[in-house]
Amino acid sequence: METITGSIYFLGKFRPFHCEDTALAKVLIRLRYAASGIEDRQLHAWIEERIKSCGREMGRNPSYSSVAADHADRGVSIRRRPHDPWLDKVTADLPPCPGLNYSA
């Protein structure tokens, strides 16, 4: 079974969130759950819309290895591969995004 990784990231502003599963639907659920408490309502709406659009693209195109949407200091990505923990050490000291559930 392939591993699918979903990420919400902030390009150095906040610590990113990553989740993995073998089912795209479960990754999308976890991304939405993690983002559900984001305090900045505009940021929350932007991330929600990108989770939906990236999920649709990945679901419609099984040959895609990844899909991402980003703008300025934020982004959402879904990849057909395990999370690469290389950046975790670099981003570990960044502050958490207010309201993002890193335990999702």
In a domain? residue 51: yes
DSSP class of residue 73? T
Specify the pLDDT at position 102.
97
In a domain? residue 41: yes
Specify the pLDDT at position 87.
86
d(CA 2, CA 4): 6
Both tokens assigned to 50: 């990108």
In a domain? residue 104: no
How many domains does the structure of the chain reveal? Answer: 1
- 74-79 β-sheet, strand order: 17-21, 4-9, 74-79, 66-71
Specify the pLDDT at position 1.
86
E-strand spans in 10-73? 17-21, 66-71
Give residue 75's domain range: 4-81
In a domain? residue 88: no
In a domain? residue 99: no
Would you call 83 helix, strand, or coil by DSSP?
coil
Q: How many CB atoms lie within 10 A of CB 93?
A: 7
In a domain? residue 89: no
Mean pLDDT per 10-residue interval, the chain, length 104 residues: 96 96 98 98 98 97 96 96 93 97 96
In a domain? residue 53: yes
In a domain? residue 71: yes
Q: Residue 54 in contact with residue 31, Cβ under 8 Å?
A: no
